[in-house]
Amino acid sequence: MKKLLRQFSIALALCWPVMANAQNSLRVGITAMPPSQFNPYANTGLPYTYVWSAVFDGLTFIDEHGQVQPWLATSWKNVDPLTWQFELRRDIVFSDGTPFTANAVVAVTELLTGPAASREIVARMMSFLDSARVINTYTVEIKTKVPTPMLPRFLPQFHIISPTQLKALGLEGFARAPVATGPYVVERIEANKIILRANGKSWRKPTIPKLEFIANPEASTRKLALIAGGLEIALNLGPEETASIESEGGREVFWLDSAVWAYQFVGSKENPFGIAPFKDIRVREALNLAIDRKTIIATLLDGRTIPATQPAPPEAYGFNPELPDIPYDPDKAKRLLADAGYAKGFAFVLESTVGSSPADAAIHQTVAQYLNAVGVKMEIRPISTNQLIRNVVEGGWGGQAFGLFYNHEPTADVLRGLDTQSCLWHHAWYCNVAATEKITAAHREFDQARGLKLRQEVMAAYRNDWAAIFMHQAVRYAGTNSKVSGLKVVNNFILFDQIRIN
């Protein structure tokens, strides 16, 4: 009786229904609904890709080791520097029963290269696309404007949609009534809930008849809903939420993303490091040496990730394994600061979001304490995620540093995170001309060994320049109830067909 009363009180407090689940529905708590609903080309970030992975498939898939695997495309070959041929999976049908053929690939290519494509993030990410044509029913040719040796790495985001539904409704209408090949079909979209049913025609057939996404921005609320029985899975939690889930009868799940958290210096193309202290490489190295990453990871992230040695994690294509760990050496940090003329330290303002990644507020404060121990005062100025995005796109930073991921998803290629964090970005805050020349060369290098070497040289250039304060690989936390098994998240893609309710 006490347990029931506790569940009831939690449900009332959260305004979240706690009802008996007859094991025919999987309820998943997320932070927010995709503003673009089911337009899968509008974003490549979280939590939207979690939702879209229930409905859409790409041509390829990048596994947990960063390797490109067949998906709706079974094989591919490079014909010449601008031409690729893809063989498609046969006997695949869309959720409305129409067959998946090469025509669907052509339709998506035309959409991503069309006059309205510039407003779609995926289209901008694949601005190298030129055209596509049908060779036969299950063979398609894709042309690019420039040599694109890593094309297959981009194609998990080349979400295949029904050309019939797209033609009938347009992209805006399609986003409300999507037809695709994934394990679930959208039944109803509400303000804070999406209800889906199993797609019996999918090549990745799910075992759970219904799937519901329920949005609430508060991680603590999603955790309590999980414990109270209102959810089977709660995504986007932090270690402070998952720490007690097992004692409440649930399970903690975590995974590593292809991203590295770092504190960036606010500079420009003309002035890569902004204010005077940061212009001295000894200062930048000192700030890196002043921080005990292993202790931060052990105490604030439950030991679930690893310290960064460069702007990319080990599974990213182009990671440089020769770069050593960054040691915690406050004494050397003080010597370097003194040699650079800052024996008495200096002060700067860090702008960063709070609540957008696990334990970020506590990490900011701990880093500030480590820096203060060597005489450097870091004032933390919280900003919203929207303000961070505006600053990235438009400039206008209010501080001298900011927190941001080197995010290498969805390609799991070290070059992906450098699209913005190099001279290539129109409002660059870090610009190393020599490294950017190698980035450009690597983008177009078809020789695999040479392309890999160029990427590793870029990683070394960023590390040796101490381009940022490199912290740790991104880690994500979730909770499930005791009956759920098989939750697997790879490169922001949830394999919903593998989830079971026992």
Label residue 22 by pLDDT band (50, 70, 90): low
Same domain, 19 and 149: no
248 assigned to some structural domain: no
pLDDT band (50, 70, 90) for residue 21: low
One domain for residues 393 and 363: yes
Of the three residues 149, 173, 197, the one that is the final residue of a domain is 173
Across 465-491, average pLDDT: 96
pLDDT digits (tens, 9 = 90+) for 303-329: 999 999 999 999 999 999 999 999 999
Peptide bond preceding 17 in cis form (omega within 30 of 0): no
- Segment 330-341 shows an average pLDDT of 98
pLDDT of residue 444: 93
pLDDT-above-70 percentage for the chain: 95
Nearest residue to 408 via CA among 255, 254, 257? 257
Contact assessment for residue 93 and residue 204, using Cβ atoms and an 8 Å cutoff = no
Asked if residue 389 and residue 378 are part of one domain, the reply reads yes
Question: Does residue 96 carry a pLDDT above 60?
Answer: yes
In a domain, 441, yes or no: yes
Mean pLDDT of 328-340: 98
Same domain flag for 72 and 169: yes
What is the tens place of the pLDDT at every residue in 356-365? 789 999 999 9
The H-assigned helical ranges of 342-487 are 360-373, 385-394, 433-443, 448-464
Structure tokens at 10: 């939690």
What six digits make up the tokens of 6? Answer: 């506790």
Residues 322 and 442 reside in one and the same domain: yes
Phi, psi angle pair for 244, to nearest 5°: -105, 0
* This model's pTM is above 0.85: yes
Query: What CATH code is carried by the domain that includes residue 456?
Result: 3.10.105.10
What is the rounded distance in angstroms from the CA atom of residue 261 to the CA atom of residue 250? 29
Count of domains observed in the chain: 3
Question: So what's the pLDDT on residue 23?
Answer: 65
Query: Distance between CA 245 and CA 198 in Å, rounded?
Result: 28
Cα separation, 351 vs 386, in Å, equals: 13
Among 16-20, 54-58, 353-357, whose mean pLDDT is lowest? 16-20
Domain that holds residue 32: 1-54+182-232+483-502
Whether 409 maps to a domain, the answer reads yes
CATH of the domain at 154: 3.90.76.10
Mean pLDDT of 144-150: 96
Indicate whether 220 belongs to any domain: yes
Both 126 and 25 in one domain: the answer is no
Q: Is the pLDDT of residue 424 over 60?
A: yes
Residues across the chain: 502
For the stretch 363-408, pLDDT in tens is 999 999 999 999 999 999 999 888 998 899 899 899 999 999 999 9
Angle in degrees, CA 370, 303, 216, rounded to 5: 95
Co-location of 296 and 221 in the same domain: no
Report the run of H or E that residue 238 belongs to, with start and end: none
Examine the domain organization and report whether 313 and 393 are in the same domain.
yes
35, β-bridge pairs? none
Check whether residue 113 and residue 140 sit in a common domain: yes
379 and 369 housed in the same domain: yes
CATH number at residue 33: 3.40.190.10
Residues 424 and 294 in one domain: yes
Instruction: Tell whether 253 is covered by a domain.
Output: no
Same domain, 372 and 461: yes
Residue 66 covered by a domain: yes
Note the pLDDT of residue 4: 44
Report yes or no on 249 lying in a domain: no
Measured distance CA(113)–CA(54) in Å, rounded: 25
Q: Does residue 427 lie within any of the structural domains? A: yes
Q: How far is CA 302 from CA 130, 154, 260, 294, 358, in A?
A: 46, 32, 17, 11, 11
